[in-house]
Amino acid sequence: MRDIGEEADVPVQRRQIVVDWGTSNFRAYLFGADGAIDLEHQAAAGILSVSGNGFEQALEREIGSWLTPGCHVFLSGMITSRNGWLETPYVATPADLAGVAAGAREITSARGARLRFLPGVATRHPLPDVMRGEEIQIFGSIAPDETITLILPGTHSKWVRVERGAIAAFRTFLTGELFALLKAHSIVGRLIPNEPLAFDAEAFLAGVRQAASDDSSGLLHDVFTARSGALLGDFGPEAVADRLSGLVIGHELRAGLALGWAGEAVRLVGEPALCARYRDGLAALGQASEAGPAHAAVAGFRRLAALEGGAGS
């Protein structure tokens, strides 16, 4: 992969550009006709750094030399939200890649590039849930007609049931955000030492097992025991953070496994160290898992770019 420089020697009509434009970062890929990345560009030019409605100027500034008349540009991420350039609706489940591409809203740039803003995916079964951006990682983590269950650990973890290549159902869990809040702001977090600590796998797994056990009285009680256990001397303050992590992730795993989606092995997609926690937590509960691709988003964009003419395939 090279950074942006001269014009790439790809025929104009075959150019597919995808832009992952989030709150803080801008990432763009130019795919050649063979599906390989010809150019890649990254910048700290997220939507928060764009003043007023200057998104088109920002796009020109970042990848202007790629934008030729008639070229296709898919845009994904918070750029498609209410605070972005063009808000797109949600596509309902079941949603496959072609359906997501077809749900894009298109405008033509001053330079004649066809800008396609991708939709998010929403479900109402059994409760309202939404994603915006993760769908690209999902399509980059599966074979076109695969049936599998994915977990995308993170701030807002996703459990995703994929059936024959389409997002059939999903659940968002506030796991990462809640852990960060409890650590930074709660009475439990006050016990956590300030200095950085090595990961305590034993404390983490004890938390996972407690959350999944019959002894658990739910998350609201379990998180308090990460404090009371330390007050009563069951473990030291240096174990509180990883025990709390295990309790919160353990409650996600318990609820996710109760969906009955897991099957023989779930596939973990995301940051390797976090996926390793999920892998070990799942194993402690008797559930096998496998690692997804290292660059799921890029793989998803490649599949998107390969859709001939974008929405039509």
Judged by the rule CB under 8 A, the positions of this chain that interact with a second copy are: 90, 122, 124, 126-130, 156-157, 171-175, 177-178, 181-182, 185-188, 210, 215-225, 228-229, 231-232, 234, 248, 251-252, 254-256, 258-259
Rounded to the nearest whole angstrom, what is the least distance from the CB of residue 252 to a second copy in the complex? 5
Give 195's contacts (C-beta < 8 A, 6+ positions apart).
none
CB-based contacts of 4: which residues, under 8 Å, 6+ apart? 39, 41, 62, 63, 65, 66
Query: Strand, helix or coil at 273?
Result: helix
Q: What angle is formed at CA 200 by the lines to CA 198 and CA 205, rounded to 5 degrees?
A: 155
Closest distance of CB 208 from a second copy, Å: 14
| 3-state SS assignment for residue 79 | helix
C-beta of 63 vs 152, nearer to a second copy: 152
Shortest distance, CB of residue 166 to a second copy, whole angstroms?
20
Cβ(99)–Cβ(145) below 8 Å = no
Least distance from a second copy to the Cβ atom of residue 171, Å:
5
Q: Which of 38, 200 has the CB closer to a second copy?
A: 200
Nearer to a second copy, 12 or 181 (CB): 181
> Considering beta carbons, is residue 125 or 164 the nearer one to a second copy?
125
- Comparing CB distances to a second copy, the nearer of 67 and 192 is 192
Q: Smallest gap, in angstroms, from Cβ of residue 178 to a second copy? A: 6
User: Bridge partners of 161?
Assistant: 149, 169
AA letter at 168: A
